[in-house]
Amino acid sequence: MADLLRRIAERADPAAFRELYETYGPRVKAYMIRRGADAGTAEDLAQETLLMVWRKAALYAGDKGSMTTWLFTIARNLRIDRLRREVPWQELPEGRLAQASGDPQPDEAVAEKERQERVQAALAELPAEQQRVVALAYLEGLSHSEISARLGMPLGTVKSRMRIAYQKIRATFENLE
Amino acid sequence: MTITRHLDDATLMSFAAGSLPGALAAVAAAHVAMCGRCRGEVAFLERIGGALLGSLPQVAMLRPKPALPEFGGPQEATASPGEVPSGEVPPPLMRIAGASLDSVRWRWIAPGLWHRPLPIRGEGSLHLLKGSPGVSVPEHGHGGSELTLVLRGALLDSSGRYGPGDVADFDEGIEHSPAADATGCICVVANERPTRFRNLLAQLLRPWHGI
């Protein structure tokens, strides 16, 4: 995937873009639908997301971040932007946040691909009720209160499940060092 | 600026997920812009989004792929912004709050207390609040979550001091009535539900008498 990005960044290679588009377009479209967009809008937003990758490939090609994480941040920001233009959502320098913070990156030695796999594995190991809360926040875009209403559980329980899920996922990285 | 009060993990997760209500997201974005620690946390939490996105069942794209030349070529890499802003108003708030706290047009709401509603579409309400030294930020009778970010001066409460960049992120129902310290305080406050500041006059400010 890093190779596709490099080909886009260095040579504006349309074949590389096509491959990227075919691999990720349908996933981003699925994400937009989960966040409440109708099929047409979801496809528009998925196209915009992939075109953003095309335009900004150079920003990202040399980076060690994960492609899906970068795509997620672009898709998320576009969705928020479309929903409510007035939200002063910080234009996050996608994929470069950790570096921008100037903080030491203790897990730098671990390849980003492996990190992503670890997150995936840690997510899969969460108890179902924690997975549910995390998925409702990330994929359906529900706030704490909305999750609380959807699942019929107190707000405090929603928040504590999120915190525990986060701590567990983070802990799998701490064990690495 | 040493930031010691951060966003709660559940707030950070929802922020990274893109699912915080609008007003809360504005204050969270402002804190994250000021706080390297929370930027690192958000970067970590975004990986969860990447992992979930990668595992979604695909929904076929129906229209033809856009013709790329119409959209121009890839852009050159530009320098990463990355700089911690030096001004008092963090970049995510500048467009709606202005670039300087000295040019805010305050509205008096009670002795020693001024506010300025900030326009925000989406859920919740967003205000700048200015308190004279010793004046407390009153309870304002709302439900739902609230985030308070100090921009100038400091707030004090039973849990300690909140300086510029510090954020108060408490669960609903926790008793919390911070007061401006001896230099006064300007903060930005987001409420998940609308706040009716007119009612504040009825529950007038308690002068703050020291820890």
At A29 the pLDDT is: 96
Interacting residues of B56 by C-beta distance below 8 A, sequence separation 6+: A27, A30, A31, A34, A139
Q: How far is B209 from chain A (nearest CA, A)?
A: 32
Is the confidence metric ipTM above 0.90 for this complex? no
pLDDT 10s digits, B86-95? 589 999 999 8
At B136 the pLDDT is: 81
Tell the residue number behind the tokens 């695909």, with chain if given.
B58
At B198 the pLDDT is: 47
SS3 track for chain A: CHHHHHHHHHHCCHHHHHHHHHHHHHHHHHHHHHCCCCHHHHHHHHHHHHHHHHHHHHHHHCCCCCHHHHHHHHHHHHHHHHHCCCCCCCCCCCCCHHHHCCCCCCCCCCCHHHHHHHHHHHHHHCCHHHHHHHHHHHCCCCCHHHHHHHHCCCHHHHHHHHHHHHHHHHHHHHCCC
Question: Quick one: pLDDT band at residue A145, thresholds 50, 70, 90?
Answer: very high
At B209 the pLDDT is: 35
Q: How far apart are the first and last CA of chain B?
A: 23
Question: Quick one: pLDDT band at residue A176, thresholds 50, 70, 90?
Answer: low
pLDDT 10s digits, A36-67? 899 999 999 999 999 988 888 877 766 666 78
What total number of domains does chain B contain?
A: 1
Percentage helix, strand, coil, to 5, in chain B? 30, 25, 45
What's the whole-number average pLDDT of chain B? 82
Residue with the bigger pLDDT between A61 and A99: it is A61
At A134 the pLDDT is: 98
In this structure, is residue B77 part of a structural domain? no
The CATH number for B101's domain is 2.60.120.10
What's the whole-number average pLDDT of chain A? 82
Alpha-carbon distance values, B119 to B23, B53, B95, B141 (Å): 9, 32, 10, 21
Q: Please give the interface size between A and B, counted as residue pairs whose CB atoms are below 8 Å apart.
A: 236
Question: Quick one: pLDDT band at residue A138, thresholds 50, 70, 90?
Answer: very high
Q: What domains are defined for chain A?
A: 1-105 (1.10.1740.10), 107-177 (1.10.10.10)
Chain A partners within 8 Å of B119 (Cβ): 86
Verify whether the Cβ–Cβ distance B57 to A86 is below 8 Å: no
Domain encompassing residue B40:
9-61+92-203
pLDDT 10s digits, B114-143? 999 998 877 788 999 999 998 886 665 556
In this structure, is residue B191 part of a structural domain? yes
Verify whether the Cβ–Cβ distance A97 to B46 is below 8 Å: yes
Q: Residue A99: is its pLDDT beyond 80?
A: no
At B206 the pLDDT is: 40
Residue ranges of B 155-184 with Cβ closer than 8 A to chain A: 171-172
Tell the residue number behind the tokens 């074949």, with chain if given.
A15
At B87 the pLDDT is: 82
Residue with the bigger pLDDT between A10 and B6: it is B6
Pick from B55, B133, B177: which is nearest to A34 by CA?
A: B55
Low-confidence ranges of chain B (pLDDT < 70): 68-86, 137-143, 172-176, 195-211
Considering only CB atoms, A155 lies closest to which of B57, B77, B172, namely: B172
Q: Residue A82: is its pLDDT beyond 90?
A: no
Chain A partners within 8 Å of B68 (Cβ): 12, 14, 17, 54
In this structure, is residue B1 part of a structural domain? no
In this structure, is residue B173 part of a structural domain? yes
Write out the DSSP string of B10-75. Answer: HHHHHHHHT-S-HHHHHHHHHHHHH-HHHHHHHHHHHHHHHHHHHTSPP----SPPPPGGGG-PPP
Beta bridge partners of B122: none
In this structure, is residue B210 part of a structural domain? no
Beta bridge partners of B156: B161, B179
For B118, the 3-state DSSP assignment is strand
B105 in reach of chain A (CB within 8 A): no
In this structure, is residue B171 part of a structural domain? yes
In this structure, is residue B87 part of a structural domain? no
In this structure, is residue B101 part of a structural domain? yes
Dihedral angle computed from the Cα positions of residues B191, A94, A51 and B120, in that order, rounded to the nearest 10 degrees: 20
Interacting residues of A136 by C-beta distance below 8 A, sequence separation 6+: A142, A146, A147, A150, A151
pLDDT cut 70: percent of chain A above it:
79
